[in-house]
Amino acid sequence: MITIKEVGSKKDLKAFVKFPFKLYKDSKYWTPPIISQELKTFDKDENPVFNDAEARLFLAYKNNEIVGRVAAIINWLEVKDQNQRKMRFGWFDFIDDLEVSNALLKEVEAIGKTHSLEYTEGPVGFSNLDKVGVVTEGFEHDSPMVTWYNYPYYAKHYEAAGYKIEKGYIESEFPFSNVKPETFEKAQALIKKRYQLTALNFTKTSEVMPYVDKMFDLFNESYASLSSFVAITDIQKEYFKKKFISFVNPEYIKFVIDKDDNLIGFAIVMPSFSKALQKAKGKLFPFGFLHILKAKKHSKDVNFYLIGIHPEYQKKGVHAVIFNEYYNTFTEKGIEYCYRTPELEDNIAIQKIWKHFDPVIYRRRKTFKKTLS
């Protein structure tokens, strides 16, 4: 018999966060999160997303042992401002038992019906900067810190519960040796001259901070046309500064500004933290932070996390300016492999800018949807 319990205490929340550590203890591809950060994600006093969203967390028990979890999420900005009457769910993990996954999804669906929402979709987080999608191909690769990993049996549980594929995402890779500077070197010089643009490089995080608010504003503008986009609010900017920027080697942040110091392009690349986080086992202390610091400075693999171009400058080759800066930095650092984090399959524009590097899709993931009747 499956028992569902809503998380209502700090003890329950810790059990919710730590359940995947048990589920994936034998997986060499799962990348564990930092436990303290995951706890803060669901702390209403820490995470400003709760100003505009709500979440209820559930644990599934079988024979007095935790066998599954799910976060049922409503983003009210999405529901009220965009009229997307969607019930989100994420952090959805479970043993290979259809009774378990179905019981957890029923909790999500019940909340959606209570609020007269039209459908459920998951796995997704609170916003577009959160993790997304269930892996359907490419289980034999390490998962970056900014994505979820799952066992192959997950997809069949969605289908068994009456869910249909909603969106597809791809992740691709290419060796840095594929990058030929002649594909962008001359073009970027002409583009900078034509539009009076300047590329900004950094060596210290403190140098980046004055531009971060502008970066999030540009993120909102450049990604607004994508499906299910929810803008980052001013108060959330401060939170994401603390959560993400400290993890990024400042040399891997590239900005492009115009003659009036307006930010018109940006890109963030993360060093690969997968191996470091696997060694840290969810804890920063006593030695976890040392593994992370080492990866931040010396990892030979990188993950392209975000890239955004102002709508007025899209299709004008600004990405060539960004690629040129990365080519110089990566050459100096001895980078060997480049990975792209999940991108929508139908985002053809972003895929075109990578075509010269001959990327290979190594993982696919999906979100699933169910109409609430």
pLDDT tens column, 295-318: 988 999 999 998 999 999 998 999
Among 205, 281, 312, 195, which Cα is nearest to 249's? Answer: 205
Reply yes or no on whether the pLDDT at 332 is more than 80. yes
Task: Please check whether residues 131 and 211 belong to one and the same domain.
Answer: no
Q: Among 29-38, 202-211, 227-236, 325-334, which is the least confidently predicted range?
A: 227-236
Residue 63 lies in a domain: yes
Residue 222 lies in a domain: yes
Give 67's strand partners. Answer: none
Task: Please check whether residues 250 and 148 belong to one and the same domain.
Answer: no
Task: Please check whether residues 250 and 107 belong to one and the same domain.
Answer: no
Task: Please check whether residues 287 and 340 belong to one and the same domain.
Answer: yes
Among 88, 148, 146, 158, which Cα is nearest to 121's? Answer: 88
Q: Which residues contact 213 (CB under 8 A, 6 or more apart)?
A: 234, 237
154 and 111 Cβ atoms separated by less than 8 Å: no
| Dist CA 326 CA 179 (whole Å) | 10
What's the rounded mean pLDDT across residues 224-229? 72
Reply yes or no on whether the pLDDT at 227 is more than 90. no
Task: Please check whether residues 83 and 187 belong to one and the same domain.
Answer: no
Task: Please check whether residues 103 and 131 belong to one and the same domain.
Answer: yes
What is the percent of the chain with per-residue pLDDT over 70, rounded to a whole number?
A: 99
Residue 272 lies in a domain: yes
Pair of tokens at residue 276: 């470091």
Give me the pLDDT at residue 234, please: 86
Q: Which CATH number is 229's domain given?
A: 3.40.630.30
Task: Please check whether residues 163 and 253 belong to one and the same domain.
Answer: no
Give me the pLDDT at residue 129, please: 80
What's the rounded mean pLDDT across residues 276-294? 91
What's the rounded mean pLDDT across residues 29-37? 96
Tally of domains in the chain:
2
Task: Please check whether residues 156 and 203 belong to one and the same domain.
Answer: no
Pair of tokens at residue 253: 């942040």
Residue 98 lies in a domain: yes
Give 72's strand partners. Answer: 56, 89
What's the rounded mean pLDDT across residues 14-28? 97
Query: Which H helix or E strand runs over 12?
Result: helix 10-23
Burial class (CB in 10 A: 0-12, 13-18, 19+), 301: buried
Residue 87 lies in a domain: yes
Instruction: Classify each residue of 213-228 as buried b or exposed e, where b means 16 or more C-beta atoms within 10 Å of its C-beta.
Output: ebbbbbbbbbbeeeeb
Instruction: Classify each residue of 160-174 as buried b or exposed e, where b means 16 or more C-beta atoms within 10 Å of its C-beta.
Output: ebebeebbbbbbbbb
Given 126, 148, 170, the domain boundary residue is: 170
Residue 224 lies in a domain: yes
Reply yes or no on whether the pLDDT at 243 is more than 80. no
| Dist CA 72 CA 111 (whole Å) | 8
Residue 373 lies in a domain: no
Residue 48 lies in a domain: yes
Q: How far apart are the first and last CA of the chain?
A: 27
Given 170, 204, 234, the domain boundary residue is: 170
Task: Please check whether residues 131 and 78 belong to one and the same domain.
Answer: yes
Residue 300 to residues 104, 334, 341, Cα–Cα distance (Å):
40, 7, 16
Task: Please check whether residues 159 and 208 belong to one and the same domain.
Answer: no
Task: Please check whether residues 218 and 324 belong to one and the same domain.
Answer: yes
Domain that holds residue 140: 2-170
Q: What is the pLDDT of residues 50-106, one digit of tens each?
A: 999 999 999 999 999 999 999 999 999 999 988 899 999 999 999 999 999 999 999
191 and 197 Cβ atoms separated by less than 8 Å: yes
41 and 60 Cβ atoms separated by less than 8 Å: no
Given 170, 196, 215, the domain boundary residue is: 170
Q: Which residues contact 175 (CB under 8 A, 6 or more apart)?
A: 336, 337, 338
Locate all alpha helices (DSSP H) within 196-233, ordered by sequence. 205-223
Task: Please check whether residues 48 and 154 belong to one and the same domain.
Answer: yes
Give me the pLDDT at residue 228, please: 66
